[in-house]
Amino acid sequence: SGLLLRLFESSFFDVHLAIGYLKTYSTSIGISHYLVNRLRSFEYEDVEFYWPQLCYLVITRTTPSNALENFILERCQEDSHIAVITLWYLQASLSELAQSPSSEQFGACRRLLNRVQEIIFTDPPTPVPGDDTTAADPLAADSKRKINAPLASFVGIGVLLAAIGMPGLVNATGGMIVEQGRRPELLTKSDDAGDIGLGDAEGGRADEANSGTSAASRLRPGTAPSLSVPSLPMSHSAGNLLGSPATSAHHLSGTTLPGYGLPKPFLSRLLLLQACRSQLDLLRSLQDISTRLVLVPKPARLSSLRAELTVLNHGLPRGCSLGIPHPRKPRRKQARVIRISPSESVVLNSADRAPFVIYVEVLEEDLDFDPDRRSNWEDLRRALREREGLAAPAHAAEAASPSGTAPSCSAAVATSANGHSPAATATLPTQRPRVLAPHDAAAIRERIMSEMMALEEERMERMRSDVQNRSYNASTGVAGKEDNTVVMRAVSKDDPSGAVFAESYTAKTARIRAASPFGHLPNWALLSCIVKTGADLRQEQLAVQLISEFGRIWKEENCPGWVYYFRIMVTSENSGLIETINDSVSVHSLKKNAYARRAEDGTQVFDSYTLYDYFVETYGPINSARYRKAQDAFVESLAAYSVICYLLQLKDRHNGNILVDREGHLIHIDFGFMLSNSPGSIGFEMAPFKLPQDYIDILGGFDSPKFAEFRALFKQCFRDARKHAERIITLVELMQKDSKLPCF
């Protein structure tokens, strides 16, 4: 209608409204195409924030329109990070939908997953001189596929006839008609069967040849190949990669520009695909480390982690991104990973898992895909060598075959990988392996672990002897106090997470940069994150999205309510990365460290220590300017998170799930229980939010001006959130449909 179009064209229309109306008008082909075109006009970061919702919308609401699916594929082609996170999210969703393989949601998820895998794992075909279309668009083969779409054809003919009187009609609707005509469901049964047969005969081998063993290892164990391996066009086969080795060897030799004579879009595409695969390799290696740490005894986990990261640094994939931007510095360009600091990593305390914190050295805004840039030449040479290494065995096998037909590409690749292919040896005599061989890596890991375990045992022995020497002092009569010290050390030794953030992040960054071989580079930066396996982080991701949406609402309304948004990247149905909250520590760790200090000083160990005591110790007397500034920060965060806890029904708010930063803000983490689920499936928590005596003491008591300010700010936050309630409800309703998340 005219009113709806006026809303879409108004200045108030944003990404959130576009997603809401995509959900409402998902069955309308015209409206969905218009809304998707509007999505292309919004800021890149704004659209990326709602990327999980867009992927979930495509999966759960199967409609005649393929506008949103094509939009997701376009972004995957343009951005390596978007392609990777889309692949991870779809894999997690597919494993969840595998219980009903005949459902429409499963079919939509599998189809989209196959297309995304085709984008990531399929090298572009050899470019034809003078034709850059195929090199720039890896899915261009779809436009040449035979289709039989009577409805789209009739509409297209009608538009062409009507264009005589209204020429602008073609530009307005032509793209929509073409996209709908290419929709996979519109293929006839016979044509679709023919395409599948061709994919099985040629595309499966091409995928195996192009991706290699590392690409195959990226697929999660337990996923059926038929659910995830796409059928690729015949033009992507390994025998058609770079032509004959003789004609392509000049691209790899000397110090000249790699790929000289090849189209720039083709070379840029190679760099982008390599970034995708390198990021998948890196994250898979980190997840494997976390899985192996679970099998290691707790005292040896830290040494094992640092040994694993040392080995990983030797084979660290080049030209990859971690996927988490620098805190408070959102960038369009990704940061290039150059090193992981093993000595700074630490294993966090967990009963049945082994999450760990890593500090990653990166070069900010350094990862681009310009083949003319000198810093990308080495990556480009390696990509071309990998392609030629796959093409050479195929040509040699085809020449040796009596019938002239190429054998299975998987066998050729296996022969080349084992080093028994004469053609491969002759073509690449000096090619070095990209990563260490498995037996070499295992030997290095064992040697490093044994050395680090010996050092750890030596350190523990020194600590034990030190405690024994000070366990009793008859002259001072402090035997009981020393016993308390031993007790507190025993309590604290299994929880290193509190000590991780004792040093300021600025000081840690400066110290790591001074010791790093890359610290002299001007765009050097340090990122930190938590690697976690054994837990589904999609509910956590939804919770931090909702909290961030509350923060956006209050910022738009000039409300002083304060929340902290940290990124969570889902890498599978049971793993992911969590951005660390720098310069913060949990209330639980604060109290535990205070008890340990009291035991060291010989004071009363088991006297009550509250958060109010910490504020006085850290920020000075209650009348000082520094304390009042921290008090203001505390009030702003307490009011905001209290409203969020009440509206989202956040439960299990113990001191281990609440952090305090250096400015005095409260920050809530760990949202395993929200909305409808509760610990033990028993809704015993009657308080709408947490407001213990510690918080009231910091505010100055019930009758203090700060407590009255807290009450007023709480009401203001609630009113502003109620004004924009539709923004919160839309996100929850969209993710609630057919969801298996515990909170629903």
Q: What is the pLDDT of residue 503?
A: 80
% of the chain at pLDDT higher than 90: 38
What is the pairing mode between strands 524-533 and 346-347? Answer: unpaired
> Which has more pLDDT, 69 or 137?
69
> Which has more pLDDT, 460 or 715?
715
8 Å CB contact between 16 and 10: no
The pLDDT confidence band at residue 632, using thresholds 50, 70 and 90, is very high
Asked if pLDDT for residue 137 goes beyond 90, the answer is no
Residue with tokens 């902290």: 564
The pLDDT confidence band at residue 412, using thresholds 50, 70 and 90, is very low
User: Mean pLDDT score of the chain, rounded to an integer?
Assistant: 74
Q: What is the pLDDT of residue 477?
A: 44
Q: What is the pLDDT of residue 248?
A: 39
Q: What is the 3-state secondary structure (H, E, C) of 387-430?
A: HHHHHHHHHHHHHHCCCCCCCCHHHHHHHHHHCCCHHHHHHCCC
| pLDDT tens digit sequence for 371-394 | 877 777 777 777 777 776 655 444
Asked if pLDDT for residue 700 goes beyond 60, the answer is yes
Q: Looking at residues 591-620, what average pLDDT do you find?
A: 81
CA 353 from centroid of its chain's CA atoms: 20
Structural tokens at position 284: 């898979």
Asked if pLDDT for residue 85 goes beyond 70, the answer is yes
Buried b (16+ CB within 10 A) or exposed e, 468-495: eeeeeeeeeeeeebbebbeebeeebeeb
| pLDDT tens digit sequence for 422-453 | 333 333 333 334 445 566 666 666 666 666 66
Residue spans of the domains in the chain: they are 2-147+182-236, 535-736
Q: What is the DSSP string of 639-660?
A: HHHHHHHHHHT-----GGGEEE
Least confident span in 37-51, 350-364, 389-403: 389-403
Q: What is the pLDDT of residue 284?
A: 92
Q: What is the pLDDT of residue 512?
A: 94
Q: What is the DSSP string of 43-103?
A: -HHHHHHTHHHHHHHHHHS--S--HHHHHHHHHHHH-HHHHHHHHHHHHHHHHHHTT-TTS
What is the C-alpha separation between 392 and 217, in angstroms, rounded? 23
Asked if pLDDT for residue 487 goes beyond 70, the answer is no
Burial class (CB in 10 A: 0-12, 13-18, 19+), 349: middle
What is the pairing mode between strands 666-668 and 658-661? Answer: antiparallel
Q: What is the pLDDT of residue 595?
A: 81
The pLDDT confidence band at residue 520, using thresholds 50, 70 and 90, is very high
The pLDDT confidence band at residue 730, using thresholds 50, 70 and 90, is very high
Q: What is the pLDDT of residue 351?
A: 67
Q: What is the pLDDT of residue 233?
A: 39
Identify the sign of the CA torsion 81, 84, 87, 89: negative
Q: What is the pLDDT of residue 473?
A: 46
Q: What is the pLDDT of residue 122?
A: 85
Q: What is the pLDDT of residue 458?
A: 64
Asked if pLDDT for residue 3 goes beyond 50, the answer is yes
Asked if pLDDT for residue 551 goes beyond 80, the answer is yes
Least confident span in 75-84, 211-220, 348-357: 211-220
Asked if pLDDT for residue 686 goes beyond 50, the answer is yes
Asked if pLDDT for residue 190 goes beyond 60, the answer is no
Structural tokens at position 133: 């279309």
> Which has more pLDDT, 506 or 125?
506
Range ranked top by mean pLDDT from 72-81, 178-187, 238-247: 72-81
Q: What is the pLDDT of residue 182?
A: 54
| pLDDT tens digit sequence for 659-685 | 999 999 999 999 989 998 887 766 666
Least confident span in 18-32, 248-262, 309-323, 454-468: 248-262
Q: What is the pLDDT of residue 459?
A: 59
> Which has more pLDDT, 85 or 168?
85
Architecture of domain 2-147+182-236 in CATH? Alpha Horseshoe (1.25)
The pLDDT confidence band at residue 56, using thresholds 50, 70 and 90, is very high
- Paired with 339 in beta bridges are 361
Q: What residues contact residue 367 under an 8 Å CB cut-off, 6+ apart?
A: 275, 319, 320, 321, 333, 334, 335, 336
DSSP conformation class of 566: -
What is the CATH topology of the domain spanning 535-736?
Answer: 1.10.1070
Least confident span in 82-86, 124-128, 532-536, 733-737: 124-128
Q: What is the pLDDT of residue 504?
A: 87
Structural tokens at position 544: 């931090």
| pLDDT tens digit sequence for 264-298 | 888 888 888 888 888 999 999 999 999 999 888 88
Closest CA to 384 of 199, 282, 254: 254
Q: What is the pLDDT of residue 691?
A: 94
> Which has more pLDDT, 229 or 528?
528
Q: Looking at residues 87-116, what average pLDDT do you find?
A: 92
Asked if pLDDT for residue 194 goes beyond 50, the answer is no
